[in-house]
Amino acid sequence: MARSSWWSSAAWPDPTDPPFLNGVVLVRTAHDAHALMAALGGIEDAFGRQRSVANAPRTLDLDLIAYGRLSGDLDGLILPHPRAHQRLFVMGPLAEIAPDWRHPVSHQTARALAATAEVGQDARPGR
C-alpha cells in the first residue's frame, strides 16, 4: 500500500559493523500475524540470512512492527515490536509514509515517536 524511501544510519548496537539501510512498507495481507512472520523469515532465508549471535551483521532483517491493533505476546510473537518505537531508523521511515499511524499501546503517532526516538539518531533518508 505504501513504501518509504531508504534510510541510512550507523549500525546499532555496534557502529563499527556495516551501516544499516532501512525502509518500511505498509501492506494488506490475508495472512495472520504468525503466517506473515513465517513468510518474512522465508524471504530472509532466500537472501542468505545467517542467524548467529543477537544483533550480528546480517544481509537482511525483516521485522513485523505492528499488525493492526494487536498487542501482547501472541504465542511467542510480541506485537507491536517491543523496541521499534525507540528507533529512528524504524519510526522515521514509518512517519514518512504514515505520520498519523498510532502505536497500539502508547497511542503516540509515528511522527511523535520519530521525534523522540533515542536509538539511531543519525538515521536520514537517502542512500
Asked if pLDDT for residue 108 goes beyond 70, the answer is yes
pLDDT at 56 over 80: no
**How confident is the model at residue 100, as a pLDDT?**
98
Give residue 53's pLDDT band: very low, low, confident or very high (50, 70, 90): confident
The residues near 71 (Cβ < 8 Å, ≥ 6 apart) are: 79, 80, 104, 105
Average pLDDT, rounded, for the chain: 94
Through-space distance between the first and last CA atoms of the chain, rounded to whole angstroms? 22
Residue 29 has pLDDT above 80, yes or no: yes
- 113/123 Cα distance (integer angstroms): 14
pLDDT score at 127 = 65
DSSP alpha helix (H) spans, the chain: 33-46, 88-97, 110-116
pLDDT value of residue 33 = 98
